[in-house]
Amino acid sequence: MFNGQQVPPLIEINGEKIDEEISTGYWLVEFFSPYCHHCKAFAPTWQTLYEFYYTSKPVAASQESPDSQSSLNSFSRYYNFKFAKVDCVAFGTACGKKNVHSFPTVVLFKDGKEVKTSVGAKDLASMSKFVEDTLESIRPGSRPKEGVKLPKVGAAGVAVGAKPDVSAEKDKDAAGGKAAGEKHNE
């Protein structure tokens, strides 16, 4: 349950059928080992990322039911984008064929072809940027210019329509960063 919506379990791809599974649309797939410390630490971030985007409504003004994943206003349908994971202990051969040698590795596929990769445990903001950049390329102009308000890792929701936390002046530009640094060093 996230933002009051039922969220199905994250898709666990049978490694032997990975090529068939990811053959159409965009797939963001985490390749992991259940014994990997970094994977265990990353798991709540990955789950929160999935739940946040699964329940997001791409078109805020739509009159369609938000609960229907067959609705064109469902995240998965609007962007043709899905999240999944592959256990590389159970399906090591499949992970090897996808050139996964470190865990966790997150790979974005489009119609079965690798588009970009992120290796290692990342924070929610970094992974969201990875997703946001992709969504904007799929449907230009569809993402909020000011970004999205992310939940805390493990949270059961985030206020719908909430504005993202505003970056400090130092994060907006180099001159602001220099001025903030000089002020701090006074």
Asked if 75 and 56 count as a contact pair (C-beta separation under 8 A), the reply is yes
Structure token pair of residue 172: 């907006």
List 114's β-bridge partners, or say none.
109
pLDDT given for residue 134 in this prediction: 96
Domain locations along the chain:
11-159
Q: In what order do the strands lie in the sheet with 105-110?
A: 11-12, 81-87, 26-32, 105-110, 113-119
> What is the CATH superfamily name and number for domain 11-159?
Glutaredoxin (3.40.30.10)
pLDDT given for residue 70 in this prediction: 52
Q: At what angle do helices 37-55 and 124-138 cross, to 10 degrees?
A: 40
Q: Which helix (H) or strand (E) holds 85?
A: strand 81-87
Q: pLDDT of the chain along its 186 residues, tens only?
A: 998 999 999 999 999 999 999 999 999 999 999 999 999 999 999 999 999 999 998 865 444 444 444 566 789 999 999 999 999 999 999 999 999 999 999 999 999 999 999 999 999 999 999 999 999 999 999 898 888 999 999 999 887 666 777 553 334 555 555 554 454 344
Which backbone phi and psi does 98 adopt, to 5 degrees? -95, 10
What is the model's pTM?
A: 0.82
36 Cβ contact list (under 8 Å, min separation 6)? 103, 104
